[in-house]
Amino acid sequence: MDNVAQGLEELIILHNITELVMGAAADQHFSKEMNTPKSKTALKLMETAVPSCKIWFTCKGHLICTREATESLPAILPSPAKNAPMAPAYSISSQMGSMAPAELEYEVSSSKGYTSSSLVATEMTDWDYLFGVYGSSRIDAAANFSGTAALPPIIGDANELTPVLHSPTQESDNVYLLLESAYNQEDEPSVDEEMYGKLQDLCSEAKLLLDQADDKSHKIGKAEMDLHSALERIKESEDSYLQEVSQRKEIEKTFARQRLQIEEMRRRLCTLSDELQDSKKYNLMLEQRITQIKSAAKDHVEEITEYFIKQSCEESKKCQKIEMDLLSTLQRVKEVESLLQNEKAQREYMEEKIARQRTEIEETKRQRDKLYYDFQDAKEQRIRLEQVDASEETNRRRKAERDMLSYLQRIKDLENQQIRQLKKQETMEETMARQKEEIQATKRKLHEIHGKHMAEIKSAVKVHEEKDANSKQLFQELQVKYDKLLHERDTAVIEAKELRQKNKQSASVTNETPYTGFSFVELQKTTNGFDAEFKISEDGFASIYKGFIRNTNVAIKLFHPRSLKGQAKFYQEVAVLSRVRHPNLVTLMGACPDDFALVYEFLPNGSLEDWLSCKKHMPPLTWKVRTRIIGEICSALAFIHSHKPYPIVHGDLNLGNILLDANFVSKVGDLGICHLLRQPDLPTTNLQHHPTKNHKGTLCCMDNGEFKSARELMLWSDVNSFGIIILRLLTGRSKQQIGEIVEEAMEKGNLHSIIDASAGDWPLMQANQMAQLGLRCITLSWGRQPNLAGEVWVVIEQLMKAACLPTGPSRFASPSDAPPPSHFICPIFQEVMSDPHMAADGFTYEAEAIRGWLDAADTSPMTNLRLANRTLTPNKALRSAILEWQQQQNRR
């Protein structure tokens, strides 16, 4: 630090510096209360510098303090070392930086548009001119002056010369800092008087220009004030606009609350309707109980039934009254909604007004910005005012003032328009308040109606509870009689089992059973004692397990032994599936009649319902696969409907009963609920009145015109279900109102909007044909339904050909020259098998052919892989199907 201060002191003496500007402290140490230097170098130089040198101490562009000179010395003195060459200023600065660069403190201030060699420091009312003269042996020329002047160099810790702006409070002086870069030994330093005179003239001219600039800057300042007032008025307009936007948001919130209130009213209406439906369901439940009691003891409940029927009539009248009240309430809600629609239209009109006003305000903002930029341009041209004629500048300023006055007039017009708009808005708010009061009155009326309805419903529920208590008492009395009848029925069932064991052989079509028998021990072993880990699904009658029996994956359906309906389904399923074979029907492989268990072929790809709903992240089925599946289902249905001698009706066809094998070939399952249309001695009353509810799982028999009508109704049920499946595969939607949705889309000509896009690019012509076919199948008039084996199959066959799918021969029409099914052919002999046996590879062969093959080799004839064993299992189900097919061929 001492070396730096000493070096500066020597430079002052060497160059006869009389005035010096230096930093008082670093920028980060600056504060408004600073009045003395903080730098040690500055303090040292303040004490030890020659008294003739006046020093200004600055920090961050502000003057901190001044050390005045105590004696008058000439501006330029001879060098104390005449014979020694002088080092240039930059080399001296470099030397100083190398001595102690961390301790040199200075203030670097720069202004936009200035450089280190040509700098200008300007103020609104005061100019300071600092001329830096760098001489060699003589001062040959003076700095040119054109409205700007060079600032004195300041020595800082960046080792460069930087200008410093004077504080606005500092008095304007002409400061000369003379740095001589070199002196010749032969020349003596002197002052050129002629050059000094020229400099004085230049200073006087500069002061005249400064006065003119002050006048012009005063006028520009006035223009700035006018612009500032205009900006304030624009800001007030923006504030009023923001206030209007906030009011509009409050109006929207009010509308939202009103909409929520309307929705709450609707929910309450829905609650009332649900309670009404519950009361109807309760009445229906009472009627069902009456029906059960009547069937259990007809002789004891005739009077009670009449009593309950009368009570049900009274309840239905009350329900009708409640429905009328609900309709009137709904009408009132519609009127309230219409009022809300009118309010919405008025609000939209207000929003349009506000949008137009916002556009005008934006235009005003743009004009304000333009005016501001014009002002900035005028401010930038202030430096060049000396070269511009005063009259032209005055005209331009007047023009700017006229433009500003016109803008202010436009702002006033906008304010007046905004005031008018606010008055209109107040009128709208008053209208909304009146409408809100009307809505509140409507809500009070609805609450009153709701209270009345709830009171009536509660009284009706109380009456029903009393009736239910009486019914329970009667039910307990009948339960005793039912237990007695149940004991008698169990005794009859035991006797029936004994008779069934004696007559098993006489009940079969051929001398041997039409299915393969499995022992219960064998079924337990393959399912690990019917462990839950092997369970696939379960319903109210049976549980289905997966197993591996005789080298084949199977599905085992175990019926609940205590369920009478489950036992009936077991016998019916055996009776149907043991006599029916079709490639698109699930194959019954065997049964265990003693324990009510059935063994089916295992279909690994699950149900069509799972694939359509994409459960377990299953990929969607393509439209070609869906077209093929529709054809396969049509083939299976037409086959069972045309079964001889008695047609078969499925009765519960849906996507959950259609299963897919490993090759995505569809097979119709759950045939245990179907029935044969033959002629026992059962009545037909229930079937005629409820064709889609009570025929499920029953054997209906009649031999007159009524039999034909009921049969058509039951066949209509399967065709209707098939139509729903077509529409679901086409659209990928659920079955609720699927017919109405498709019919409406076709009427509007936008069927493509509801087609399942995940199936791929379904050809629009084929999709139209498929939709028309599905709608024809679900018609409510069964007499107008298409025939599956006729016109339906013709359409589906054309669709399959268009999709490049193999159709093959019709599998439900059996002409005399039709070839045998492919699964009847032995892979080795290529002939219809007479004694089919299943090998370890899962394929079925003629017994003689496979035995001869195994005598020569131990590999599979189909896969050429080594067989796990040489066990052969008779395929009795396939043999029964072959025998049935041969009998049909012989009859034809």
pLDDT attached to residue 312? 67
CA distance 495 to 157: 121
Strand 154-155 and strand 535-538: the pairing is: unpaired
CATH architecture assigned to 212-499: Up-down Bundle (1.20)
CA distance 606 to 613: 12
CA distance 320 to 312: 12
Which token pair is 619?
């990929």
CA dihedral (84, 90, 91, 92) in degrees, to 10, reads 70
Assess contact for 339 and 438: CB atoms under 8 A: yes
What are the two backbone dihedrals, phi and then psi, of residue 428, each rounded to the nearest 5 degrees? -60, -40
How far CA 653 is from CA of 614, 646, 714, 785, in Å, comes to: 20, 19, 12, 17
E strand or H helix at 880, and its extent?
Answer: helix 876-891
Which token pair is 47?
């004490």
E strand or H helix at 348, and its extent?
Answer: helix 302-380
How far CA 176 is from CA of 21, 24, 46, 128, in Å, comes to: 11, 21, 20, 12
Cβ burial, residue 142 (10 Å; 0-12/13-18/19+): middle
Assess contact for 818 and 843: CB atoms under 8 A: no
CA distance 510 to 92: 129
CA dihedral (738, 739, 741, 742) in degrees, to 10, reads 110
Q: Which amino acid is at 340?
A: L
Whole-prediction pTM value?
Answer: 0.39
Assess contact for 177 and 132: CB atoms under 8 A: yes
Assess contact for 66 and 56: CB atoms under 8 A: yes
Which token pair is 783?
């007499």
CA distance 4 to 98: 10
State the alpha helices, DSSP H only, in 680-789.
Answer: 685-689, 705-731, 738-748, 764-777
CATH architecture assigned to 605-812: Orthogonal Bundle (1.10)
How far CA 410 is from CA of 96, 405, 407, 417, in Å, comes to: 64, 9, 5, 11
pLDDT attached to residue 846? 92
The domain segmentation of the chain, as residue ranges, is 2-191, 212-499, 503-602, 605-812, 822-891
Instruction: Give the chain's largest Cα–Cα span.
Output: 155
pLDDT attached to residue 175? 36
Helix orientation angle between 302-380 and 193-296, rounded to the nearest 10 degrees = 170
Assess contact for 713 and 780: CB atoms under 8 A: no
652 among known catalytic residues: yes
Q: Which residues contact 635 (CB under 8 A, 6 or more apart)?
A: 582, 584, 793, 810, 811, 812
Phi-psi region of 61 (alpha: psi -120 to 50; beta: other; left: phi over 0): left
How far CA 406 is from CA of 176, 196, 695, in Å, comes to: 51, 53, 91
Q: What is the mean pLDDT of each run of 10 residues along the chain (892 residues)?
A: 79 89 86 85 87 90 87 41 38 37 35 35 36 36 37 39 38 36 40 68 78 78 80 80 82 82 80 76 76 63 63 73 76 77 80 82 80 77 65 75 79 84 84 84 83 82 82 83 82 75 48 69 88 84 87 86 77 79 85 88 88 83 92 90 81 89 86 55 34 36 45 78 93 90 91 90 90 86 73 87 65 51 82 89 88 86 84 84 81 63
Assess contact for 829 and 864: CB atoms under 8 A: no
> CA 742 from chain center: how many Å?
27
Which token pair is 4?
């730096």
Q: Which CATH number fits domain 822-891: 3.40.50.300, 3.30.40.10, 3.40.50.1000, 3.20.20.70?
A: 3.30.40.10
Assess contact for 651 and 673: CB atoms under 8 A: yes
Q: Which of 325, 595, 610, 652 is catalytic?
A: 652
What are the percentages of helix, strand and coil residues in the chain, rounded to 5?
A: 60, 10, 30
How far CA 665 is from CA of 416, 605, 732, 838, in Å, comes to: 80, 10, 19, 21
CA distance 276 to 95: 104
Other CB atoms within a 10 A radius of the CB of residue 671 amount to 23
Three-state SS for 832?
strand
How far CA 667 is from CA of 288, 658, 663, 762, in Å, comes to: 37, 6, 11, 24
CA distance 149 to 122: 9
Assess contact for 773 and 724: CB atoms under 8 A: no
On the question of a common fold for 212-499 and 605-812, the answer reads no
CA distance 144 to 865: 108
Which token pair is 789?
């084996």
pLDDT attached to residue 393? 67
Q: Which residues contact 669 (CB under 8 A, 6 or more apart)?
A: 585, 586, 600, 603, 657, 658, 659
pLDDT attached to residue 182? 36
CATH fold label, 503-602: Phosphorylase Kinase; domain 1 (3.30.200)
Q: What is the DSSP string of 62-114?
A: EEEEEE--SS---SS---S-SSSPPPPHHHHHHHHHHH-TTT--------TT-
